[in-house]
Structure 1
């Protein structure tokens, strides 16, 4: 079988694949053999990254008859990521172990780009299936192909590069000469033996080419995201984009993140490049799924918004400005992530000074950062002032759009995005609940009232219905099972709702008590249920691709996410932990109180204000998971007499029939 090219619509990647195939067959005609299967997949969109070219290769013949590397190692199978660059030699630079290519006036790290594609592919494989359906991730070879550059134009190749570099004279022999071996052969796939643990050619191809199918909720989101007619207020600030900073502020569940995405897609439809900076990888995975479905629905929306965490955005800017040596220094010499981020921000605020002071780790000259047309910042309330000032200096306030969660801050200080006399577009307050059905939303408002929180979220009459259930179950293992049973029952009752449309929130191990993540894994494995484990480092970087995947996240990572039914397990334990360990900056709080009260300040006054701040911290954290459901919210209590149990009981007494209580069944005699 000859080499097969798998591609969508013809594009540059397809042309690259054709040239790649031609180079391999011309240099090694024996590749055209009935027992050799070779697929070149073009522009493969996997969660978090698009791979230029991916070559899957398998030779089913005996080891004696297989093709070999120049050193004589038999080539049974391999998976190869190829980063293709069609730049002329004057637009290519070798800096230490890395290859840089220039687009317009900016240099890009092609070596890192290839590495990131490889890591994304391995993460995708690792998280693709759990339980009895899981297969081990394959080993991935890497290569950079400078398709229009002759090796003679350069003084050698990158020193100690982790990624082999090939030039215009690419051949099969040169390609495989740099392959890493597995027990003296090139082998990463199994033959079609039915071994469920490892990938063969067929299973790997099927896994990579799996098509994501939108659920009913997906389709509703996509229709709303691509809506082209806005209300009068939104029309006004959309027309004023680029004239000043736009801030969208609102409480949990009022659609701040959704509004950011709407604006980003509107800008993409106008050909504008945007980057959306959000809080965590779990939310990025959730949004990435919606964007992939959007791209399949309407390929003309281009370029799609790029999603990054704040940490990654700052890291990219630092690396582009100061080069790979400075970035390596930051990683190797500054182990604490927060300190590393502060180090980068300080350097970026005054790059000329840093360049002079740290010339030992900087390149010959400062490089410009590749900037999008607009940056849209989610959860802006949690940024620090120096991080905000860096964004102002990099982008200018006019090209920044911020979503500010009024009471959703998880840090010690709230960031003011309107300091001084910066140009302002609009300060839009969002007050309408756009997620939660009316009855559930009303119950959440009653809980806020019981807590003494100012809660001005308006219930939407356009989305009637909703349920609020309190599940009391002291046995954590049984509570997880009951939660899964409720989700299954709601899914059956709703008809078109799929498992992927549901959400489970779990407390972290820091709260003490049962390990709910382990119990969730055990329960889903026992039931042979598919899942997306947003509490896992690898899983949360990859969006769920199958509609049977039940999503589970930690409470700390649930902001911006939603579920048709949302089950909050061990919520009283989570609330108790937030009450016991409030994150409040006492020094700043005391200084602000002294400045406000002046001669009237007293230590007793500060103690009272500190107690109030600590209580508010826990209250506001509680409201985040309480606003994640669309139709049905299920709150699990380990102990009905806990602090949260008492609050819910008080609301239940005051508001009859709004909360359904499900208590443990009494043992039969």
Structure 2
């Protein structure tokens, strides 16, 4: 036999690897010595950058001299039966080991039973197919190396039942309905029948025969190998900073460790930027999944932060979403939309109407929850929906939530809440959300910065102290010396030149382009096309950009590590970078101050409008300045602005770590 079939990926003892070996055996039995080519079965493939990242088995192959007799649609659109030559294929395989009693059909969907309710294997299989397609589209659409994006087929492999049992499940009337499922005793013909059913075969007039092909052309073995390398490239090249964050997640020792804190009452984890709150949430979520089989929802209001956490989950090989034991991360707006849309509007509410009526819809939902009977009905409904049924809810940056958002979570999750509170770090308002209304709670205090090197903390404390001498100071970490600040003067070409130097420095430190964050004011965003205005200028200078100013892109994390992250300042909460570039910091601050409105609520009776404005200014300054670990680069549009003058004064005071770099580009 001349077909080489390789199984790669997962550990040999894993269920997916054993299923891949079974498929290999099935295919080997079908190929005689005249069939040539190569097939790769990648068990537990990680599709970086997609909402569904774990693919049980990714099968891809290119073969010659093999045909199979199957049903298919011919060139005139009629169902026919005959010989079809199989040339190549790219297939997502979902593996289920359930016995007959754990599988049932509802309409055309096949469901499997888990301890926490039914799960649609059909939907999961289709989601995996879409994830692979989106991954290839993002990876290769702009390259000329590959001969087009392959068509992705998919099927479910039930390893715990026979074909007869599967047909019983699928039977309607005289026989089974068509499906994309096969059983443990299936044949190669059964598999290829599904693949050919999903994509109409082509017809070669010169050869007078039908053929099945997923690619635009026959791919070489080298091209297939290169494609599979894409699954591991992002993980292997993630950079030292990401590896450090993964180590923090898996480390046994971390300040204020909450791993062993029992969540029998609401827990509040308090700390300023960089003290490890988000890492603490991730660690606790994983522990609950591993130890208790719990399902944990992590909520934030920042799409970029949600994407960054998902990237960490992928690179650390942490549990995937919507599995029997799982963690999910999404924005609170996304979760509330699914919740309100299903419970109050039977999924008829549009996204536009939801955003326009957001506050009133939250109040309507609170009233709905106020009635015990309707609340119980809602909880029963949620128990049947894997996207809404969660045992625990973890809330990031909880100080910036509204009272209505808080009250909904308290009514839904009760004591099963873990709150990360960043103190006086407000973006959405000048008044923090009070979670202390829950009398029975556990509080954990994180005091020291785990992110920033000492010189950066000195810079921040002294800059904020120039605005308000009574403002709380960030506590430094004695084991993190170093750090520098650069004031970059000149035009954008000068800034790009400095960024290239910084990227080279980062790489010497073991980091990658992803570890650079660049914040821009709204004047750097093309409002019509919703993208970073100067993307092409950066690309001409060999700097690739992950454009987080684009909403659609910001919802998905980068699939490679060779792009710097560009975001508007407002999207920076919770993120970090080895090096951070603040473009026209003064433009951003002045824009924010122009929108300042004093809060007239009772909680501020003892605080003047000037005090509120000062606190508002400090909050917005802290957002970008607390993002870097090692290096901070700042540009100003106007050197005479208040914030520029303050930074220049600090440069004169600390010439050992605050540097002025003038432009050498005319």
From 212, 225, 240, the counterpart of 2:235:
212
Aligned pairs, number: 622
Counterpart check, 1:286 vs 2:283: no
In the aligned structure 1, how far is the partner of 2:529 from the partner of 2:538?
A: 15
Q: Secondary structure at the match of 1:108?
A: strand
Deviation at 1:349, TM superposition (A): 7.8
Question: Counterpart of 1:222?
Answer: 246
Deviation at 1:513, TM superposition (A): 10
Q: Residues 442-591 of structure 1 correspond to what in structure 2 (within 5 A)? A: 442-452=458-468, 454-473=471-490, 475-476=491-492, 478-491=493-506, 494-508=508-522, 518=532, 521-536=535-550, 539-544=553-558, 546-582=560-596, 589-591=599-601
Deviation at 1:624, TM superposition (A): 0.9
- What per-residue deviation string (whole Å, max 9, x for no partner) do you get for residues 562-620 of structure 1? 222211223333223222334x5x7xx33436x958xxxxxxx9xx63x6545644441
Deviation at 1:331, TM superposition (A): 4.8
Question: Counterpart of 2:620?
Answer: 621
Q: Secondary structure at the match of 2:72?
A: coil
Worse-matched range after superposition: 117-126 or 563-572 = 117-126
Deviation at 1:626, TM superposition (A): 0.8
Q: Per the alignment, do residues 230 and 408 of structure 1 end up closer, same or farther by CA in structure 2, a change over 3 Å counting? A: closer
Q: Secondary structure at the match of 2:635?
A: strand
Deviation at 1:424, TM superposition (A): 0.5
Question: Counterpart of 2:410?
Answer: 392
Q: Secondary structure at the match of 1:637?
A: coil
In the aligned structure 2, how far is the partner of 1:25 from the partner of 1:354?
A: 60
Counterpart check, 1:55 vs 2:56: no
TM-score by length of structure 1 reads 0.77
Q: Per the alignment, do residues 550 and 416 of structure 1 end up closer, same or farther by CA in structure 2, a change over 3 Å counting? A: closer
Q: Residues 190-269 of structure 1 correspond to what in structure 2 (within 5 A)? A: 190-191=216-217, 200-210=223-233, 212-213=235-236, 215-229=239-253, 234=256, 239-267=260-288
Q: Residues 63-74 of structure 1 correspond to what in structure 2 (within 5 A)? A: 70-72=72-74
Deviation at 1:487, TM superposition (A): 1.3
In the aligned structure 1, how far is the partner of 2:502 from the partner of 2:202?
A: 47
Q: Secondary structure at the match of 1:178?
A: helix
Q: Per the alignment, do residues 119 and 480 of structure 1 end up closer, same or farther by CA in structure 2, a change over 3 Å counting? A: farther
Alignment check: 8 A CA contact 1:349 1:390 kept? no
Question: Counterpart of 2:193?
Answer: 174
In the aligned structure 1, how far is the partner of 2:192 from the partner of 2:150?
A: 23
Deviation at 1:412, TM superposition (A): 3.6
Deviation at 1:58, TM superposition (A): 2.6
In the aligned structure 1, how far is the partner of 2:338 from the partner of 2:34?
A: 45
Alignment check: 8 A CA contact 1:127 1:539 kept? no
Alignment check: 8 A CA contact 2:153 2:195 kept? no
Q: Residues 289-438 of structure 1 correspond to what in structure 2 (within 5 A)? A: 289-295=311-317, 305-314=327-336, 326-327=346-347, 329-331=348-350, 335-337=353-355, 339=357, 350=368, 367-368=383-384, 374-397=392-415, 399-412=416-429, 416=433, 418-426=435-443, 428-438=444-454
In the aligned structure 1, how far is the partner of 2:605 from the partner of 2:362?
A: 34
Structure (1/2) with the larger strand percentage:
2
Q: Secondary structure at the match of 2:43?
A: strand
Alignment check: 8 A CA contact 1:322 1:363 kept? no
In the aligned structure 2, how far is the partner of 1:190 from the partner of 1:415?
A: 56
Counterpart check, 1:592 vs 2:592: no
In the aligned structure 1, how far is the partner of 2:197 from the partner of 2:355?
A: 35
In the aligned structure 2, how far is the partner of 1:88 from the partner of 1:346?
A: 44
Deviation at 1:21, TM superposition (A): 4.7
CA RMSD of aligned residues (A): 4.5
Deviation at 1:418, TM superposition (A): 2.8
In the aligned structure 2, how far is the partner of 1:612 from the partner of 1:134?
A: 59
Deviation at 1:635, TM superposition (A): 0.7
Counterpart check, 1:140 vs 2:160: no
- What per-residue deviation string (whole Å, max 9, x for no partner) do you get for residues 338-365 of structure 1? 75798589669847989989x9xx9997
Worse-matched range after superposition: 482-491 or 65-74 = 65-74
In the aligned structure 1, how far is the partner of 2:458 from the partner of 2:25?
A: 65
Counterpart check, 1:639 vs 2:638: yes
From 5, 8, 22, the counterpart of 1:6:
8
Q: Per the alignment, do residues 211 and 569 of structure 1 end up closer, same or farther by CA in structure 2, a change over 3 Å counting? A: closer
Deviation at 1:204, TM superposition (A): 1.9
Question: Counterpart of 1:152?
Answer: 168
Q: Per the alignment, do residues 626 and 423 of structure 1 end up closer, same or farther by CA in structure 2, a change over 3 Å counting? A: same
Q: Per the alignment, do residues 510 and 212 of structure 1 end up closer, same or farther by CA in structure 2, a change over 3 Å counting? A: closer
Q: Per the alignment, do residues 315 and 335 of structure 1 end up closer, same or farther by CA in structure 2, a change over 3 Å counting? A: closer
In the aligned structure 2, how far is the partner of 1:331 from the partner of 1:109?
A: 25
Alignment check: 8 A CA contact 2:506 2:512 kept? yes
Q: Per the alignment, do residues 550 and 7 of structure 1 end up closer, same or farther by CA in structure 2, a change over 3 Å counting? A: same
- What per-residue deviation string (whole Å, max 9, x for no partner) do you get for residues 306-344 of structure 1? 43333454566679x869x934x3458x65447579858
Q: Which blocks of at least 5 consecutive residues in structure 1 are unaligned? A: 297-301, 598-604
Alignment check: 8 A CA contact 1:506 1:554 kept? yes
Counterpart check, 1:121 vs 2:121: no
Counterpart check, 1:15 vs 2:22: no
Alignment check: 8 A CA contact 1:382 1:411 kept? yes
Q: Secondary structure at the match of 1:224?
A: helix
Counterpart check, 1:45 vs 2:60: no
Q: Secondary structure at the match of 2:600?
A: helix
TM-score by length of structure 2 reads 0.78
Worse-matched range after superposition: 40-49 or 305-314 = 305-314
Q: Secondary structure at the match of 1:462?
A: coil
